[in-house]
Amino acid sequence: MGYQVEIDKKSGFCSGVIRAIRCTETALGENKPVYSLGAIVHNNEELHRLEAKGLRVINRGDLEHIPEGSTILIRAHGEPPSTYALMAERKIRLLECTCPVVLLLQKKIKKEHARIKPQNGQIIIFGKQGHAEVDGLVGQVGGDALVVENEKDLEGLAFSGGPVSLFSQTTQNPEGYQKIREYLAKLLEEKGIDPGMLKVFDTICSQVDGRQAALSRFALSRSVILFVAGKESSNGKVLFRTCKEANPRSHVIENPGEISPEWFRPGDTVGICGATSTPFWLMEQVAEKVRNL
C-alpha cells in the first residue's frame, strides 16, 4: 500500500545504555565468557544479538557458581554494595557499566542518608518496586528507604517528625514525580510537620525528561505510531503512555512480527519510536516491515 514512514531520530538508546553496550562488545571481543548480572538492556531483540556474540545473562543466585576469575558485567541500572562485596570475595573480574547518572544518584542518596539519619530522617524513593536500579539505590542505605510507586503508597506512612528527603528513579515520569512531591508536602502539612522538613532532589535523567515533550510532539505529527520496546522496560511503559495520550492510534510492539495490518488506513503517516532501551536497528526493521505492507 505504501505508507509514509518516519523514525523518530531522538528515540533509541540513551547515553548510559550506549556506554554499557560498547563496554560489553569490547569485553566480548576478547573471546572469553562475559556474564551479565541481569539483562543488560530490557529489550529481547538486542539481548539475543549480544547473546549470539557470547554474552551470558545470570542472576544473583548464579554468582556462587561462576568460576573464579570470570568477567561479570554490572549493567547500566547499577547494583547494591552487597553485590560488589560478593564479587570481591569470589575474586571475580568486574566490568563496571553502571550509568554515570545512576552512580551519581547512588552517591547522593548515601550522602543524604548519612546527613539526616542522626536527625531521625527518612529517605523516600519514587520508583518501581523490585527494579534493578531501585534495588541498587535502596542498597546504598542498607535498606533504610521507602519505595513508592504512586500516591496511594504514601497513605498511612508514619512520619518520624525528622527530615524527609525525596528522590526519584532516573527513568520515572516527571509528571508522576511532581504529583508525588505535591502529595507528600500535603501529607506533611496535614500532620502538622513543617514543610521545610521536606527536601526534593531532581534526579530524573535529563535525557528521559526531555524525551517526554519531544515524543508527544512526534506522536501528534503522525496518524499512526508504532512504539518499539521490550515488555520489561520501565522507561518503555512511561514513554508509550506519553505516545498514547498524544495519539490514541499508538501501538506498542517488541519486534516487526507483532505488526497488524489492521492498524493502518489508506494515506496514513506512520511514526516509529522507542524507549531508551530500544536499538535503532530494530526500529529500522519495523519501518521496513511497514513500508512493505
Among 45, 42, 14, residue whose Cα is nearest residue 131? 42
Instruction: Name residue 96's beta-bridge partners.
Output: 74
Closest CA to 41 of 68, 67, 66, 22: 22
Give the end-to-end CA distance of the chain in Å, rounded to a whole number: 6
Q: Are the C-beta atoms of residues 53 and 31 closer than 8 Å to each other?
A: no
Asked if 133 is an active-site residue, the reply is: yes
Report the SS3 class of residue 265.
coil
220, containing H or E segment = helix 206-220
Phi–psi pair at 130, nearest 5 degrees = 80, -5
Catalytic member of 64, 133, 151, 262: 133
Q: What gap in Å lies between CA 65 and CA 42, rounded to an integer?
A: 24
Checking phi first, is residue 27 left (phi over 0); if not, alpha (psi -120 to 50) or beta?
Answer: alpha
| Sequence-ordered list of residues with C-beta below 8 angstroms from that of 36, at least 6 positions apart, any chain | 24, 50, 55, 56, 57, 58, 72, 73, 75
* CA-based nearest residue to 75, from 109, 127, 24: 24
Q: Which residues are catalytic, by number?
A: 133
